[in-house]
Chains A and B, each alone.
Chain A
Amino acid sequence: KQEVTQIPAALSVPEGENLVLNCSFTDSAIYNLQWFRQDPGKGLTSLLLIQSSQREQTSGRLNASLDKSSGRSTLYIAASQPGDSATYLCAVPIYNFNKFYFGSGTKLNVKP
């Protein structure tokens, strides 16, 4: 069974800071890794999907990296804004199966 861990569980930063969210997984035989954002009481919004053959994926101020061999992914947020405040989740499927495993998330608060 895949174990997915996200550190830190919560993070509070002033506006404008660059920050890094971490996701680690125990089974490195993955097809891809997906980062999501969840606002309170809302559904999940896909941010970035990194295929197993990729090392990085970028979208605007977001950059996600993937190191399969070490079982880690990072989500880099540049020049954080109060609107970035949300919970960020990572998810991985298991190779040859169709199950997905989620981390518990990092709750981000960006202070104006």
Chain B
Amino acid sequence: EAQVTQNPRYLITVTGKKLTVTCSQNMNHEYMSWYRQDPGLGLRQIYYSMNVEVTDKGDVPEGYKVSRKEKRNFPLILESPSPNQTSLYFCASSTGLAGGFSYNEQFFGPGTRLTVL
């Protein structure tokens, strides 16, 4: 089944304790992205990746890191989490450039609810 998976689905942690949220897709998609969703602010893009070893900042990258060492995986790293990073996080993927700036459907993971105390 074609899907985007995220782990963990729920996480409660404390300020300053490094954590990683994993994201994996089995559709051989080039493009992957991380979003956070907050009440009243909607979905905002954190980081995206056009392909392996190619990543760039979205609109709210502060406090986050990403890496893209393999096509299927795009982990989100919080080196020193703070309470303002409490949010619902989504990973998404799509076929990406396809020979030009041609964006196709984004497929979303089920979300990770993170609470930082």
Contact = CB atoms under 8 A, between A and B. Distances in A.
Interface of A: 1, 31-32, 34, 36, 41-46, 49, 89, 91, 93, 95-96, 98-105
Contact of A43 (B40, B42, B101, B111): B111
Contacts of B108: 36, 43-46
B107 interface: yes
A1 B60 CA distance: 13
B101 A96 contact: yes
Nearest to A1: B59
Given A42-B111, A96-B101, A104-B42, 8 more contacts: A31-B103, A49-B105, A91-B43, A98-B31, A98-B56, A102-B42, A102-B43, A103-B42
Contacts of B59: 1, 99
Interface string B45-62: 100101000001011000
